[in-house]
């Protein structure tokens, strides 16, 4: 493949942006090589500035569940844009989308739209602290909840990709209010509540970890965390920015029969446009201004373009749920298991974790049940695999610690081509 134009664009970008990127993992530092610059996308494919086509397995990090430039979404955005890109005032479309979300998430009795997942989790934490009068928050190693100060402790995702334990610029006074525990170890949660009685405001978790690679909850773990938070008067915040509407129509809450106090959503809810949601039980949400003392605001919250894209996306998922989720399950299973078979045939240690249309191939022979297990993966081997796949027109997430995603636009031919590319990449 020729990459001359992308290389020139990267050189220019490095004069404008730190590392030449506006989000660190895009720099490809974890996998090596130069990142292609995307010019456009359609369905399951990305096209770069040099005219190369790639089968896309990160889907803008999750939201492109129906494929890129899905016609109903494009048409909805175009219609909304003709009326103005922003009003800074209320619109009917906000309520329309909220009703669709609530129909899929019974735990969300009230909600607020924001502009990013980081805003959603940050606001949910503030609300939990106000509701409980407590300061401490429990999170889990390898789980990423955005780049708010207190949530960057052992945060996985890009932080793990670059081998950073937290982040410079986060005061110790704030970091000390966050307890980072190993995922899938219920005894660690019990010990935290015993050590800090009446001090923990909330437990926040990814129900399926996606930011240390895909890590699935063990049997009874999520229900156990829910029971402990209820017993100790702490709120349970389920961060479904990644899993929401992807692992099921009602997300992980539906898949695992969870009834959290607060939920955060993003990505798919805006059809690929910048959006986030935090919501939950009415008794907590009604503490937000203007009804209560917890302040949260945003000029672009409920942006009409994002609402239009979200209505088209969530509406389609609701109306075609059986067909969509059956296809996602079959296609993601075929590609994840197909590549795993190729690795087994090549005698390369590989562990595959998958929930619905999100998965990770970990270059390790043992099970991966938490971040410590994931960190034992052979990241150099993953980097070689990533580069070899990219050279064959298959674009995977550029980090061992990121989940892969698939859309309804991926065809059987795309999956067969991906497995064939993996065979060659693994033997290279």
What percent of the chain is helix, strand and coil (3-state, nearest 5)?
Answer: 45, 15, 40
The active-site residue out of 45, 105, 221, 239 is 239
Annotated active-site residue in 139, 154, 267, 281: 267
Read out DSSP for 179-216?
EEE-TT-HHHHHHHHHHSTTTEEEEEE-SSB-BTB-BP
CA-to-CA dists, residue 181 to 142, 221, 228, 229, 311, angstroms: 9, 13, 14, 15, 37
Find the Cα–Cα–Cα–Cα dihedral 157, 195, 202, 122, rounded to 10°.
-50
Collapsed DSSP state (helix, strand, coil) of residue 262: strand
DSSP string, 310-368: HHHHHHHHHHTHHHHHHHHHHHHHHHHHHHHHHHHHTT---EEEEETTEEEEESSSS--
259 is catalytic: no
- Pairing between β-strand 45-48 and β-strand 38-42 as defined by DSSP bridges: antiparallel
Strands 178-181 and 351-355, by their bridges, are: unpaired
Residue listed under structure tokens 């010019």: 39
Tokens of 3: 């990459």
Q: Which helix (H) or strand (E) holds 131?
A: helix 117-132
Neighbours of 71 (CB within 10 A): 10
- Name the active-site residue from 144, 183, 256, 325: 144
Annotation says 239 is catalytic: yes
Question: Which residues contact residue 393 at a Cβ distance below 8 angstroms, ignoring those fewer than 6 apart?
Answer: 1, 52, 53, 54, 55, 417, 421
Asked if 318 and 104 touch (Cβ cutoff 8 Å), the reply is yes
Q: Is 198 considered catalytic here?
A: no
**Residues assigned a catalytic role:** 144, 239, 267
């Amino acid at each position: 493949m020729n990459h001359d134009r992308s290389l020139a664009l990267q050189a220019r970008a490095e004069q404008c942006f730190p590392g030449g990127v506006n989000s660190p993992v895009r720099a490809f530092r974890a996998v090596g090589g130069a990142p292609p610059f995307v010019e456009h996308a359609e369905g399951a494919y990305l096209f770069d500035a040099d005219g190369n086509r790639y089968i896309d397995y990160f889907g803008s990090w999750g939201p492109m569940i129906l494929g890129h430039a899905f016609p109903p979404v494009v048409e909805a955005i175009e219609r909304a844009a003709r009326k103005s890109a922003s009003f800074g005032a209320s619109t009917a479309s906000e309520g329309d989308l909220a009703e669709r979300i609530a129909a899929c998430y019974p735990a969300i009795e009230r909600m607020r739209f924001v502009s990013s997942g980081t805003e959603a989790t940050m606001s949910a934490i503030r609300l939990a602290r106000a509701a409980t009068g407590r300061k401490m928050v429990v999170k889990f190693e390898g789980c990423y909840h955005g780049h708010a100060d207190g949530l960057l402790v052992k945060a996985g995702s890009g932080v793990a990709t670059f081998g950073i334990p937290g982040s410079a610029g986060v005061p110790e006074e704030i970091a000390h209010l966050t307890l980072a525990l190993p995922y899938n170890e219920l005894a660690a949660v019990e010990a935290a509540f015993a050590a800090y009685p009446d001090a923990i405001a909330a437990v926040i978790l990814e129900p399926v970890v996606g930011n240390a690679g895909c890590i699935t909850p063990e049997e009874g773990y999520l229900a156990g965390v829910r029971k402990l938070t209820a017993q100790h008067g702490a709120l349970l915040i389920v961060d479904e920015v990644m899993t929401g509407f992807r692992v099921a129509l009602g997300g992980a809450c539906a898949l695992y029969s969870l009834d959290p106090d607060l939920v955060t959503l993003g990505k798919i809810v805006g059809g690929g446009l910048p959006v986030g949601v935090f919501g939950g039980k009415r008794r907590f949400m009604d503490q937000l201004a203007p009804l209560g003392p917890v302040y949260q605001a945003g000029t672009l919250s409920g942006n009409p373009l994002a609402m239009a894209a979200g209505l088209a996306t969530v509406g389609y998922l609701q109306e075609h749920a059986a067909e969509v989720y059956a296809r996602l399950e079959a296609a993601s299973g075929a590609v994840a298991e197909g590549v795993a078979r190729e690795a087994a045939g090549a005698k390369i240690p590989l562990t595959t974790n998958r929930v619905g249309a999100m998965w990770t191939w970990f270059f390790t022979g043992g099970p991966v049940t938490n971040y410590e297990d994931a960190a034992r993966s052979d990241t150099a081997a993953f980097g070689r695999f990533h580069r070899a796949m990219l050279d064959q027109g298959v674009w995977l997430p550029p980090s061992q610690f990121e989940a892969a995603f698939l859309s309804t636009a991926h065809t059987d031919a795309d999956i067969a081509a991906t497995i064939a590319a993996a065979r060659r990449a693994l033997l290279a």
